[in-house]
Amino acid sequence: MLAPYFPSINPERFACVHRIFGASNAARMLQQIPVEQRRQAADAIALEAYWRVQDPVYGSVGVISMLQREISVAQRELAETQAQVSMYTAQVQSQSNQITQVQYLVDNAHLIPNQPPIHGLCQPPDIP
């Protein structure tokens, strides 16, 4: 039953399955699965057994916890980046308004009599 899915070329793989599930349990699990899915099931059982040998306390649950932490980090980073996008969107919009207003002033400058600027080039002289 197990031989086609655990070839003797990779005895370590079967050793893990044997140690964690026991050969008869593993065979029974595969037997309850449609033939066309047994290869995937055998691979998944071998992976689970491998992780439990590597980490006898948490096994595949340890891998899952690690991935969940990775997801949390990615989601937090995404939220921060989305906040940055919102901030920039507002900044771009505000600058666009500013440009439109200033451009309007420039376009209509000929309607206003020449006068010194209110701010800008004219600075009060330094007091010695």
E strand intervals along the chain: none
Query: Between 10 and 101, whose beta carbon lies closer to its own copies?
Result: 101
d(CA 26, CA 20): 9
CB of 71 to its own copies, least distance (A): 6
Query: Between 11 and 33, whose beta carbon lies closer to its own copies?
Result: 33
d(CA 46, CA 49): 5
Which stretches of the chain bind its own copies, using CB under 8 A?
20-22, 25, 29, 32-33, 37, 40-41, 43-45, 47-48, 52, 56-64, 67-68, 70-71, 74-75, 77-78, 81-82, 84-85, 88-89, 91-92, 95-96, 98-99, 102-103, 105-110, 113-117, 119-121
CB of 14 to its own copies, least distance (A): 15
Cβ pair 6, 13 in contact under 8 A: yes
Spatial neighbors of 66 by CB under 8 A, at least 6 apart, are none
Query: Between 10 and 70, whose beta carbon lies closer to its own copies?
Result: 70
d(CA 21, CA 50): 11
